Chain A
């Protein structure tokens, strides 16, 4: 076996999976995992760990996998991560842990994400749970939002003996993991619900259908319900639109609406009541993970799908694996193009887009080359559905109803990086609500940091 190449991971055939919602990647089995683990050099100064935002002991858990000690491997990962089955599937590993792996200098990096996923799946299938706190310390903490940030913060605090309640606006816990990321990438029942159950098994209570700022405010939670500290992990859910003509036409959706109908409300299953429409020809505007997910979902609902993105292939912000999968499934990439207007028929339905070609100019503040319109290059493309996937920002519901909570110009809550502390005493924040839309693992890292911050605050109070 060539040590420079990875043990390949089994996947559903593109032509088959483009018509179903089953998980695309099938993962390693025990032999494959052990073989892949054997490629790890068990580096003394493990570079991979520096690339992991929650510093999982990567050589440590991989060494256990190599020996076939999967339960031990799970406990090594659990020290640092509450959602390994999720991260193993959705982390942008190529820029994080695997991007730094020494093996990657000459050959392919160790498949850290796939191994982590294997261990987490193995533990779930064998009924292994994280360990609960011995005794409660009597302090009540409220966590707002049940996305990765909230779940991690709640889990860590529960392990320390806190009495933690998560308040979630939607009817199901999981945040973007349930409403945004599709089933074929992250199975809801098998993986997300199981990880949520693990957090509950630590003693965390989850109250769904509570919108903080509407059902009850943070001040009321602290003054009337006895919560001594609050963690805000409310994400960045507010969708952006382009503000171009025709955007209010029928058949134009935000990616959030399209994905929520499909993922949270399970519109793709016949026995669920919520409707969804994908039409025959769909344009998805944008180039991030969200755009890929919307495009691949529309494809599975039977549409021809075009991704219209204003920069080039290199600049696509989505994970490489997702772009690759999307192409395999027949998604068409119309790069270096941008819609300037949506065309509407006499019934008020969208019928296409006017698109202008772009070229890349000087690098902007983020270091990416910014796109510039090519004058006179406009043309029209047909479509009966347009999905806007232009990014999201934090919802002002909480910041506007909480006295003394500072936000920045981008409506993000201002919080200290090391502790999650905000401008309001006893109130901590982290995840997309603080950074704007980012990644699962960064949100988890922030949840962890805030759990530590809250523990210190309440211990010294």
Chain B
């Protein structure tokens, strides 16, 4: 069993948990993920490692409730435990393998969308701790959904906050913010975009035009996370890749996002899609990538 030692609500539908998993905490690195399972009947749910403490043997996860399983995770309290917690899975971010001195010469930009802010944070923090500067754009639908703003402020060189409805910071998407920065003369050599697939798709479209190499972190449906089932396969360039072992990070300019978004909706029913629209009403803009509208 893997006990939950801290649980916090970060925003509407977004929760943070520290989970005791010494084996995972021992060797994990930024960019990797875990798979959790609540109990015997539960699904295997992949979640990015947002932070880790090797001494305490804990892993921080941040998740958003989108369906039955993540909804069920919310009922877990401090002191409760996950029955299964496996990791670290996937490959660490390429950034951490690069030469620090080389990195220091680069202008790096992170674009985080929604709950994607959580996995961006440890990478920015890691760079900050190694003396590397980077700018961060973090966006959400509205002010109430913003997470980790204070934490990010401490580690980012420049932080740009955007909300779709303009309730806080820049009004518009992260992509629009990037365009504005570019128009104002900011230049970047490297971009990392993490968030809903639809957001990564549009960031990549823009960075391709601007000629900024871009890495994205893909989150397709997974089962085992070890390369055994093929559920997580994606088309990258002309090749079929398994996100769980070859990724989750890929060259965003090579990913077939339309294909990936369709595959992600595989188990989504017509009714489910209708329900989301009903719940979210006019604010439902399809930005989560979970439906085709």
How far is the CB of A352 from the nearest CB of chain B, in Å? Answer: 18
Residue B266, interface by CB 8 Å: yes
Q: A248 and B235: CB pair below 8 A?
A: yes
Among B27, B72, B228, contact of A395 (Cβ-Cβ < 8 Å): B228
Given known contacts A239-B229, A273-B42, A395-B227, is B27 in contact with A215 (CB within 8 Å)? yes
* B10 contacts chain A at the CB level, 8 A cutoff: no
Residue of B nearest to A171 (CB): B84
Which residue of A209, A243, A277 is within 8 Å of B84 (Cβ)? Answer: A209
Among A220, A275, A347, chain B packs the most CB atoms within 10 A around the CB of: A275
- A240-284 near B? 1/0 per residue, CB < 8 Å: 010100011011011011001100011000011111010000000
Which residues of chain A are near B227, meaning CB under 8 Å?
237-238, 395, 397
Contact B68 A273 (CB under 8 A): yes
Q: Chain B's nearest CB lies how many Å from the CB of A123?
A: 27
Contacting residues, chain A, for B233 (C-beta < 8 A): 241, 248
Closest to B259 in A: A248
- Asked if A171 contacts B235 (CB within 8 A), the reply is no
Once the chains are docked, how many angstroms separate the CA of A208 from the CA of B85? 9
Among residues of B, the one whose C-beta sits closest to the C-beta of A388 is B230
B23 within 8 Å of A (CB atoms): yes
Q: CB-defined interface of B11-47 with A at 8 Å, one 1/0 digit per residue?
A: 0000000000001101100000000010001111000
Residues of chain A within 8 A of B41, CB atoms compared = 266, 271-273
A170 at interface, CB cutoff 8 A: yes
Closest to B91 in A: A214
Q: Let me know if B251 is at the binding interface, CB within 8 A.
A: no
Contact between chains at B229 and A260 (CB < 8 Å): yes
A248-B263 in contact (CB<8A):
yes
B residues near A277, Cβ cutoff 8 Å: 266-267
A244 to chain B, nearest CB (A): 11
Give the interface size class of chain B: 35 or more
Chain B residues within 8 Å of A220, by CB:
27
Is A238 a contact partner of B228 (Cβ separation < 8 A)?
yes
Main secondary structure of the interface of B (DSSP, over half): mixed
Q: Please indicate the chain A residues that have their CB under 8 angstroms from the CB of B88 in the complex.
A: 214-215
Q: Mark B236-269, 1 if CB is under 8 A from A, else 0.
A: 0000100001000000000000010011011100
Residues of B contacting A395 in the complex (Cβ-Cβ under 8 angstroms): 226-228, 245
Q: What residues of B have a CB within 8 angstroms of the CB of A272 in the complex?
A: 41
Q: Does A332 contact B (CB under 8 A)?
A: no
Name the distance in Å between A60's Cβ and chain B's nearest Cβ: 39
Alpha-carbon gap, A167 to B44, bound state (A) = 19
A171/B228 in contact, CB under 8 A: no
Complex CA distance for A166 and B180, rounded to whole angstroms = 55
Q: Are A215 and B86 in touch, CB under 8 angstroms?
A: yes
Tell me, yes or no, whether A102 is within 8 Å of chain B by CB. Answer: no
Q: Is the CB of B42 within 8 A of A260?
A: no
Cβ contacts under 8 Å, A237 to chain B: 226-228
> Quick one: given A209-B86, A273-B69, are A239 and B226 in contact (CB under 8 Å)?
no
Find chain B residues with CB under 8 A from A347 CB. Answer: 262
**A211 interface neighbour in B26, B83, B226, Cβ under 8 Å:** B226
Q: Which residues of chain B are near A275, meaning CB under 8 Å? A: 267
Q: Is the CB of B230 within 8 A of A257?
A: yes
0 or 1 for each of B124-142: is its CB under 8 Å from A? (1 = yes): 0000000000000000000
Contacts of A209 in B (CB 8 A): 23, 84-86
Alpha-carbon gap, A347 to B271, bound state (A): 16
Q: How long is the Cα–Cα vector from A302 to B42 in the complex, in angstroms?
A: 24
**Complex CA distance for A277 and B43, rounded to whole angstroms:** 15
A216 on the B face (CB < 8 A): yes
CB-contact partner of B223 in A214, A250, A257, A266, under 8 A: A257
B224, A169: Cβ atoms closer than 8 Å: yes
Cβ of B122 under 8 Å from chain A: no
Q: List 24 A-B contacts (CB under 8 A).
A: A208-B84, A209-B84, A211-B86, A211-B87, A214-B88, A216-B26, A237-B226, A237-B227, A238-B227, A241-B240, A256-B228, A265-B223, A266-B41, A271-B41, A273-B41, A273-B43, A274-B44, A277-B266, A348-B262, A348-B263, A395-B226, A395-B227, A395-B228, A397-B245
Known: A248-B259, A347-B262. 4 other contacts (CB 8 A): A208-B84, A237-B226, A251-B266, A274-B44
